Structure 1
């Protein structure tokens, strides 16, 4: 399950949940610079802390970003994603970066779709084997 220090405790649960998120720019336009990526890192970390989540890893290229987020079970991934994309779009557009103003219009920074993959812990096959080996009562 990973390092014991990574395991988090809620009031009635113990958890270690990570999600890998990928956000793509609207029309897959190549608008991100190192400066924008650095600003996005700070914005995403701030939004995550509002959800009692943690931005574990973040990076991106000129048309998409990858996030690894450790989040509590009370947070729906879709709610987290909506907030991450909405706040970041508003904050980045407010700074009026020329590359974004030139290539994107209409108030949207992100494509409406996203990728979310659960990750962390043991591989699925290992968990399946463990469950299969349980001693069913007679």
Structure 2
């Protein structure tokens, strides 16, 4: 019997490249299921997932054998490959370069799940940018606004 016991839950947030509204309703459930499969393949647990056409929120349990950055890299790389291999894609799908991840205690798990489930309601009142900055500030994460949101360069 192992003598190591962990409960490592993270609220993970990332957007599509340049916050393009690429997560269409007709395939978001499939995308959510695919992401859950990736997490399970890494011995993790998808506790909740939700989002908007331009970003996702996940509450994931990650095993201590994998770094959070590695788990998110695997999630993003595998899922973008899957989306781009779909026959209904017209533009190349990409996730943003970075992400945000916040630890979540068991006592806060249900409130984070509710927050993730209620994304449609939250975004009637504020943009993803406002939400993202609020999350960073609530978790006392220092950031430089010029790096928080990748800008598309045209021309």
Instruction: Identify whether the pair has TM-score above 0.5, normalized to the shorter chain.
Output: yes
- The count of residues paired between Structure 1 and Structure 2 equals 108
Q: Which runs of 4+ in 1 moved over 3 A?
A: none
1:62 paired residue among 53, 58, 65? 53
Q: CA deviation at 1:74?
A: 1.2
Bigger-Rg structure (1/2)? 1
Q: CA deviation at 1:27?
A: 1.0
The correspondence of residues 39-78 of structure 1 with structure 2, limited to 5 A, is: 39-78=30-69
TM-score, normalised to structure 1, is 0.71
For structure 1, list consecutive stretches of 5 or more residues without a partner in the other structure. Answer: 1-9, 124-138
Higher relative contact order (CA 8 A, sep 6+): 1
Distance 2:24 2:105 in 1: 30
TM-score, normalised to structure 2, is 0.64
C-alpha RMSD over aligned residues: 1.8
Distance 1:51 1:82 in 2: 12
Which structure is higher in helix share? 2
Q: CA deviation at 1:79?
A: 0.6
Q: Does 1:118 align with 2:103?
A: yes
Listed one character per residue, the Cα deviations across residues 12-36 of structure 1 (whole Å, up to 9, x for unaligned) are: 3111110011110001111211222
Which structure is higher in strand share? 1
